[in-house]
């Protein structure tokens, strides 16, 4: 299966969830052409969108799903306040608001304000309710690839996939893509290495020029001697 993923969510996590959804459907439907026979030709496009929505080829090998950019992330409330740093400033996240900081001088003051404690266990992970929507969307679209046409947007109120039991999504984490930061290049070192490379090329050109000069100089002297010519 080829997955083209232009979102910030992990492709590997989406692939695992997709395969589980496929298994759940095929447990019920027992299709003539199960996924393992179509796997090599199957394509899944994952795009950013304003809500969960999708498209698929009826009886085909292509699915497109859109995941909202503003999916809720998983967070956990702390049971203890964080430590005060050396400057006596306590950095915190206020739940439901933007990051901020407050200067609390001692631990006793911090304990009085539990909603100012730093959020612990915060991960770039999709919350359970969002994963439920995503799993049901995949199941819905996969039914289309099996040839189902009656569960389209016109008859969505009769779509049984909307109530499909997907409690098992709790075992599947949908996290953000890992951002790999490339080490910053030493500009001076790069320029030095490039200078060496260009210098070597210049040396080669100079050797070739000297060889050509010597060659044609000897020919000129030869003809001057044989034919008693003089160069201007």
Tens digits of residue pLDDT in 194-209: 999 999 999 999 999 9
Find the Cα–Cα–Cα–Cα dihedral 199, 200, 205, 210, rounded to 10°: 100
- Range with the poorest average pLDDT among 131-140, 181-190, 207-216: 181-190
20-29, 68-77, 104-113, 152-161: range with highest mean pLDDT: 20-29
Read off the pLDDT of each residue in 135-164 and give the average, rounded to a whole number: 78
- What confidence score (pLDDT) does residue 193 get? 92
State the number of CA atoms in the 13 A half-sphere of 28 facing the CB.
Answer: 12
* CB neighbour list of residue 110: distance below 8 Å, 6 or more residues apart: 81, 82, 84, 90, 104, 116, 117
Looking at residue 123, its pLDDT comes to: 57
Q: Are residues 159 and 52 in the same domain?
A: yes
Over the stretch 47-75, which tens digit does the pLDDT of each residue have? 999 889 999 999 999 999 999 887 656 55
Rg (CA), the chain: 34
Q: Where are the alpha helices (DSSP H) in the chain?
A: 11-29, 35-38, 107-111, 128-145, 187-227
Residue 107 domain flag: yes
Whole-prediction pTM: 0.59
Q: For the residues of 221-232, what is the DSSP string, one character each?
A: HHHHHHH-----
Based on the domain organization, do 204 and 92 belong to the same domain?
no
Q: Would you place residue 215 in the very low, low, confident or very high pLDDT band (cuts 50, 70, 90)?
A: very high
List of residues 6+ apart from 177 with CB closer than 8 A:
8, 9, 10, 11
Whether the CB-CB separation of 84 and 110 falls below 8 Å is answered with yes
- Give the per-residue pLDDT at 70: 72
At residue 162, the pLDDT reads 86
The reply to whether 66 and 80 lie within a common domain is no
Domain span at residue 210 reads 186-232
- Give the dihedral of Cα atoms 35, 41, 42, 43; nearest 10 deg: 170
* Residue-wise pLDDT tens digits, 85-128: 444 444 444 434 444 444 444 555 555 555 555 544 445 788 88
Contacts of 144 (CB under 8 A, 6+ apart): 56, 57, 58, 63, 151, 152
Indicate whether 179 belongs to any domain: no
Q: 140 or 105, which is more confident?
A: 140
- Give the CATH number for residue 155: 3.30.2010
**Number of domains forming the structure of the chain:** 3
pLDDT at 160: 83
Element (H, E) at 53: strand 53-56
């Amino acid at each position: 299966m080829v997955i083209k993923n232009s979102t910030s969510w992990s492709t590997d996590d989406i692939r695992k969830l997709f395969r589980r959804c496929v298994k759940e459907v095929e447990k019920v439907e027992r299709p003539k052409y199960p996924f393992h026979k179509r796997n090599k030709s199957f394509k899944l496009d994952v795009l950013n969108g304003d809500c969960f929505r999708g498209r698929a080829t009826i009886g085909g090998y292509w699915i497109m799903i859109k995941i909202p950019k503003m999916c809720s992330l998983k967070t956990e409330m702390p049971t203890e306040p964080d430590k005060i740093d050396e400057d006596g400033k306590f950095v915190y996240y206020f739940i439901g608001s933007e990051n901020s900081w407050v200067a609390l001088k001692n631990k006793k003051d911090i304990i009085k304000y539990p909603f100012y404690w730093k959020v612990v266990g915060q991960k770039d992970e999709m919350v359970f309710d969002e994963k439920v929507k995503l799993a049901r969307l995949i199941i819905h679209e996969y039914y289309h690839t099996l040839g189902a046409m009656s569960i389209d947007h016109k008859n969505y109120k009769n779509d049984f996939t909307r109530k499909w039991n997907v409690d098992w999504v709790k075992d599947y984490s949908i996290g953000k893509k890992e951002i790999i930061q490339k080490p910053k290049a030493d500009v001076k070192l790069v320029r030095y290495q490039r200078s060496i490379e260009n210098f070597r090329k210049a040396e080669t050109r100079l050797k070739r020029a000297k060889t050509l000069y010597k060659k044609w100089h000897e020919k000129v002297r030869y003809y001057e001697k044989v034919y008693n010519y003089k160069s201007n």
